[in-house]
Structure 1
Amino acid sequence: MQNSLYRQILGIRFYTGSAEQSVTQMQENGGLLVVPAAPALKDLPTHSAYREALLDADLVITDSALMVMVWNMLHRDRIRRVSGLEYLREMLQRPEARFPGNTFWIMASEESASRNLVWLRSQGILVPESHVYMAPMYHGSIDDQALLQRLEELKPKHIVVTVGGGTQERLGKYLKFHLSYRPAIHCIGAAIAFLSGDQVSIPVWADKMGLGWLLRCLSSPGRYVPRYWAARKLVPLLVRYRDQMPPSSDRDKIAAA
């Protein structure tokens, strides 16, 4: 197996370096970072907009413990998992991301924003009101002129997207191709919610063992058990297609027709 810091998995170019290396790359180069989890990755054949967003990302990290485990078994490889939570912890240790006005936060809701901002303040990270944006419900193709205008006025170095998987990647791609400058766009989803109390707390040891999914299921079975049970569909995709992109069923295009 190659010793490169990249692996082609299901047609997606995954970065297999450490969290520290990933954050450094984004700080130095900007662009779009995504952290696809198994429940979303299983939909690669059926969600063309999501698939294209992953292909257009500049850095894709190995957040899915299931994907990493199956890949390593199939290929006798030893790539490591870097979760969105580990990445965010590392990012928030860097002075550049902590400096007021350098980082713009796109939040999923008022309630989530309130908890997240309280936690950030407790860590000594002050976020100006101007640098917080409540994401609307995005249906179909994304076109958010209000967000673009705010970002063009402020020009933050970092944009952190905390909305749900499947949507955040498409939003990140939209920003990457519509902004006039190149910030670092970090699509880290629920990672901050595990720290702020907006979702169940995931200790460092549980994250390192890839048990975040289990804690989420135990905290809210009705919400998360069906989601992670459906993620099992990723396994046959990995077994069958390995480094190749699964063929598209074009469900998105059919729905839009």
Structure 2
Amino acid sequence: MKSKTINIIGLDFFNGEVDEVVSALEEGGLFVFPSGPGLATIKTDEKYHQSLKAADLVIADSGYMALLWNLTQKEKINRVSGLEFISAFLSDTEIQKNSNILLVNPSKKEADINLSYLQQCGFSLTEYNSYLAPFYDKERIEDVELLRTIEEKKPKYVLVNLGGGVQEILGAYLKENLSYKPAIICTGAAIAFMTGEQANIPDWADKLFLGWLVRCVEKPNLYIPRYLAAIKLISLMYKYQASPKVI
């Protein structure tokens, strides 16, 4: 897919509409939706940084980053949130009809909830379409069993529902080691917003880049420290604009 991109902190972010992202899945590859807190770590987490660089499409999911960029730059970035994407992906009739998906889930509970939700959406899925991920060592995020499972089942879409900083590295590992090119989609908690396992973010809040606020109100102890850490992104963006070689 030849897409228009904008380079922000050394990464080429896709600058288009959600339907273009869904269409791009046909070509396969690695699709990442990095968060603001995640982007703030790219100078200290080299593996995470390299996994973002390995992606075929880096989508501007972070409302915080998009807002900072659009307030300070002439050329604007169009934010496509993980929630907006997953909604478009799950409502696509061709994808529903195909149902050739493997879900990579963090727990049996979430696997059951996600399968049930997708079945309600019109997908013909069973436990065959679900893989329960182990607890990965952050220093070595590899999974030979997952590779074997994907090679055996040959899904067209691999939907990785794990935490940021892990799923992207795992996705880059899969892309490098698989013998074919499925669409590896790293949307993390996005599906949990749909199932109700995480805060219900209204469309208006998502469009106004306020999803972070909804999450902070629901679980302040978890999310307030996480988003405060993302403040580093301000200085990172400033330094990169002043001297692109710093990243």
Q: Common fold, TM-score beyond 0.5?
A: yes
1:128 corresponds to which of 117, 123, 126: 126
2:91 match: secondary structure: coil
Give the equivalent residue in structure 2 for 1:158.
157
Pair 1:57 & 2:45 matched: no
Name which structure has the greater RCO, CA cutoff 8 Å, separation 6+.
1
Normalising by structure 1, we get a TM-score of 0.90
Assess if the C-alpha contact under 8 Å between 2:18 and 2:84 holds in 1.
yes
Name the amino acid aligned to 2:232.
K
Structure 1 residue 158: Cα displacement: 0.5
Give the equivalent residue in structure 1 for 2:7.
8
Give the equivalent residue in structure 1 for 2:93.
95
Name the amino acid aligned to 1:88.
I
Name the amino acid aligned to 2:125.
V
Pair 1:141 & 2:140 matched: yes
Assess if the C-alpha contact under 8 Å between 1:44 and 1:246 holds in 2.
no
Give the equivalent residue in structure 2 for 1:253.
none
Give me the whole-angstrom Cα distance separating, in 2, the residues matched to 1:142 and 1:91: 27
Assess if the C-alpha contact under 8 Å between 1:84 and 1:191 holds in 2.
yes
Q: Kindly provide the CA deviation profile for residues 205-250 of structure 1, in whole angstroms up to 9, marking residues without a partner as x.
A: 2111111111111111111110011111111111111383644xxx
Assess if the C-alpha contact under 8 Å between 2:115 and 2:127 holds in 1.
no
Count of matched residue pairs = 243
Give the equivalent residue in structure 2 for 1:169.
168
CA distance 1:100–1:128, shift in 2 (3 Å): farther
Identity between Structure 1 and Structure 2 (%) = 43
Q: Kindly provide the CA deviation profile for residues 92-118 of structure 1, in whole angstroms up to 9, marking residues without a partner as x.
A: 122342236511100111122222222
Flag structure 2 segments of 5+ consecutive residues without an equivalent: none
Give me the whole-angstrom Cα distance separating, in 2, the residues matched to 1:117 and 1:148: 21
Pair 1:81 & 2:84 matched: no
Give me the whole-angstrom Cα distance separating, in 2, the residues matched to 1:152 and 1:145: 11
Normalising by structure 2, we get a TM-score of 0.94
Assess if the C-alpha contact under 8 Å between 2:115 and 2:126 holds in 1.
no
Name the amino acid aligned to 1:224.
Y
Give the equivalent residue in structure 1 for 2:106.
108
Assess if the C-alpha contact under 8 Å between 1:159 and 1:184 holds in 2.
yes
1:38 corresponds to which of 36, 39, 58: 36
Give me the whole-angstrom Cα distance separating, in 1, the residues matched to 2:245 and 2:201: 32
Give the equivalent residue in structure 2 for 1:250.
none
1:205 match: secondary structure: helix
2:37 match: secondary structure: helix
**Pairwise CA RMSD:** 1.5
Give me the whole-angstrom Cα distance separating, in 2, the residues matched to 1:25 and 1:66: 25
Give me the whole-angstrom Cα distance separating, in 2, the residues matched to 1:129 and 1:240: 47
Larger displacement relative to structure 2 (202-211 or 183-192)? 202-211
Name the amino acid aligned to 1:79.
I
Give the equivalent residue in structure 1 for 2:68.
70
Larger displacement relative to structure 2 (61-70 or 87-96)? 87-96
CA distance 1:105–1:72, shift in 2 (3 Å): same
Structure 1 residue 142: Cα displacement: 2.1
1:163 match: secondary structure: coil
Structure 1 residue 169: Cα displacement: 0.2
Give me the whole-angstrom Cα distance separating, in 1, the residues matched to 2:100 and 2:245: 36
